Amino acid sequence: VRLVESGGGLVQSGGSLRLSCAASGLPFNTYTMNWYRQTPGAPGKERELVASIGTGGYTTNYADSVKGRFTISRDNAKNMVYLQMNSLTPEDTAVYYCNADQLTDVGGRIWYWGQGTQVTVSS
C-alpha cells in the first residue's frame, strides 16, 4: 500500500494550496480518506484530523479550525484524494498527512499513512 502526498509548499498568508494524495495497493473506494496535520517541534501535540471524506465522497467532516476554508474531495476512478486549502494563515503551517482508514468486520481498524507534505504559510 502506498499513499503519496504532493502539492505542499510555501505560500503567503491568504493564499491557497491544493494537496493531492495518490493511493495504490488498496481497494480505494472502501476506505474513508482523511487529511491530518502535525506541527513539527510541538512536543506533545498530537496529529490533528483536518478533514475526512466517506467512501462515496458524499460525507465530509472538517475540524472547526478549517471549516469554510478547506475542502476535501476524492476521485475513486483515479484513486486520488485532494485537499483544497484557501485563506491560509500561519497557523496552518504543518506537515500534512494523507490517511486511509477502514473498520474491519471484527471491530479492528486498518490505517495507512503517507509520508507527509510540508505546508508553510508566511505572514
pLDDT at 43: 59
pLDDT at 23: 98
pLDDT at 18: 98
pLDDT in tens, 14-45: 999 999 999 999 999 999 999 999 987 765 67
Mean pLDDT value across residues 60-88: 98
3-state secondary structure the chain: CEEEEECCEEEECCCCEEEEEEEECCCHHHCEEEEEEECCCCCCCCCEEEEEECCCCCCEEECCCCCCCEEEEEECCCCEEEEEECCCCHHHCEEEEEEEEEECCCCCEEEEECCCEEEEEEC
pLDDT at 4: 98
pLDDT in tens, 75-104: 999 999 999 999 999 999 999 999 999 988
